[in-house]
Chain A
Amino acid sequence: MNVTRNQRVDLEVVANLIPPQSRVLDVGSGDGSLLELLQDTKQVDGRGLELSQRGVNECVARGLSVIQGDADKDLEFYPDKGFDFVVLSQTLQATRNPKLVLKELLRIGNRAIVSFPNFGHWRVRMSLFLNGRMPVTTDLPYSWYDTPNIHFCTIRDFVNLCDELGATVEKATALDANGQKIGLSMPWWFWNFFGQQAVFLLKR
């Protein structure tokens, strides 16, 4: 939602986790890029939920099945296990109640895929450490007073939340500043330091 530079890479990582013909709900579907990618390459049965009315109208005009709604409020209307995959791409940090949203994702989908910007990235740490100011980077371009990102977390924070909710991390990927995957063999602290974005595949 607010990370633009490596958006494609993030989407491709997400898309690669989804097998063909799956039933997918994309929460925070934005301009519909992921849904379109999944429909074109994986023939999925895709639905979207998007906050911005403009984004929704554009999606529907492009033939995508999208409704206007709020991840914080409208997930409760979806039935249990209604989808094979529920995707929350670059939206978790903008939700009012990330824990509840994550819980809902795990209820609605057999699997949940969550991607988010890592607030533990060294650039973010350095910004606060050296300047003593809230970090503003190219990927997180907002000032503290106008940011829609009200609930930042680090990769470690997110892993802890997953533990708390009893969710199993089936797969995790961290992307560096160039959108390259960080080697699987690296330890968590390394990911948490050098990963600019993270993509998690979760199971209840």
Chain B
Amino acid sequence: MAALRAGKTNNEADQPSSPVLRFGLDKPLKLDAGTLLSPFQIAYQTYGTLNDARSNAILVCHALTGDQHVGSTNPVTGKPGWWEVLIGPGKIIDTSRFFVICSNVIGGCLGSTGPASTNPATGKPYGLDLPIITIRDMVRAQQMLIDHFGIEKLFCVLGGSMGGMQVLEWASSYPERVFSALPIATGARHSSQNIAFHEVGRQAVMADPDWHGGKYFEHGKRPEKGLAVARMAAHITYLSEAALHRKFGRNLQDREALTFGFDADFQIESYLRHQGMTFVDRFDANSYLYMTRSMDYFDLAADHGGRLADAFAGTKTRFCLVSFTSDWLFPTEESRSIVHALNAAGASVSFVEIETDRGHDAFLLDEPELFAAINGFIGSAARARGLTS
């Protein structure tokens, strides 16, 4: 929290507290926008040890507002890593067995080049001068990181939501480098409804006078109100009606009766306000614009002449897809259409739909059935890859 608040700049953006790989002018990142990003950097975390054969590497791709701190304390929030329930020594993704890599995506704000990073041409943060970043750009950068480790083929690439999109892009763009792929609660394209929600969030950020056309750092400000509203709206889409009702119902917040005013009378209002407030402490507003845009632009079938199966033609990768019954952001049908495309491509694919009322966010939570599926899939893939336990 201190990192973002102090001096209203984002120190993690340029000098992350995790390892960082810097690419000079000789190694630019080719962007879908048609330009080159150079120089640029990737901030990452690793857990466990890469074996001699370099065959035990698992790449974890983070979601919209995630970061590289998947299995260790987040330096900004001081909270546990976002997937520590799953990843660590002796856990389902056992870091005493696998070498786990997670990098901050390009366009992010925790150390990989993004709008909050200093633009070497101006000495000021990029802001909106950064070209639009796509999911494929993120994956292209990750591939350069994997090259740096000398890893030819990743044992597994996994992630949920926007992370799942990266998994699909990996499997499609670099099939020979992905032994197994585990996309969770995701889709092969962002739906119209999802783009709509993202647009609401972006407009909220841009409507905040403190946004200053994206140059807020130069004005010593941050569009906290707009970003908080964006997060509040988005957060609703990560939950389900049933879970909200179960958790909050129409319960009142620290009061006996309605106040006949616009205070947070209801617990759900107070909860959302809290979600909004804590989010702005850890996330950069412009980065939020770029991240949401990258998801909006994602359409894997469109990249392959409109036929999703062609995105996976001839693939040898083993797939396992997971969806959740109450996820209305990426409903089961999105996963099922990927499964059908993989079937048509003759791919090896498992598909699990998990019954839960916890909505889209279920993938981040302690869901025993999710863990059982991941465990079974990783275990059988490891046997096929010849990895001993």
Contacts and interface: CB of A to CB of B under 8 A. Distances in A.
Given A45-B348, A63-B379, A53 B353 contact: yes
A65 B344 contact: no
A45, A47, A61, A69 — most chain B CB neighbours (10 Å):
A61
A150 B3 CA distance: 66
Interface in A60-74: 60-69, 74
Interface residues on B, range: 20 to 34
Interface stretch (B134-142, B171-179, B367-375): B367-375
Given A57-B372, A74-B340, A67 B355 contact: no
B343 A77 contact: yes
B258 to A, nearest CB: 42
B320 interface: yes
B376 interface: yes
B376 A61 contact: yes
B23 interface: no
Nearest to A63: B380
A47 B342 CA distance: 12
Contact of A60 (B343, B346, B350, B355): B350
B248 interface: no
Given A53-B355, A63-B377, A79 B344 contact: yes
Contact of A57 (B346, B369, B383): B369
B344, B352, B377 — most chain A CB neighbours (10 Å):
B352
Interface string B196-235: 0000000000000000000000000000000000000000
Interface residues of A, number: 21
B348 A61 contact: no
B339 to A, nearest CB: 5
A67 B349 contact: yes
A60 B377 contact: yes
B376 A47 contact: no
Contacts of B375: 61
B338 to A, nearest CB: 11
Nearest to B318: A65
The DSSP consensus for interface residues of chain A is mixed
Contact of A78 (B344, B354, B369, B377): B344
A44 to B, nearest CB: 12
Given A57-B369, A62-B376, A82 B346 contact: yes
Contacts of B318: 65
Can you list the 9 inter-chain pairs with the closest CB atoms, starting with the nearest?
Answer: A63-B380, A67-B351, A61-B372, A61-B376, A77-B340, A77-B343, A63-B376, A60-B350, A60-B373
Given A57-B373, A60-B352, A78-B343, 20 more contacts: A45-B348, A47-B348, A53-B355, A56-B352, A57-B352, A57-B372, A60-B372, A60-B373, A60-B377, A61-B373, A64-B380, A65-B348, A66-B350, A67-B350, A69-B339, A74-B340, A77-B343, A77-B344, A79-B345, A82-B346
26 contacts: A45-B348, A53-B352, A56-B351, A56-B353, A57-B369, A59-B350, A60-B376, A61-B372, A61-B373, A62-B376, A63-B376, A63-B383, A65-B348, A66-B350, A66-B351, A67-B339, A68-B352, A68-B353, A77-B343, A77-B344, A78-B343, A78-B344, A79-B344, A79-B345, A79-B346, A82-B346
Interface of A: 45, 47, 53, 56-57, 59-69, 74, 77-79, 82
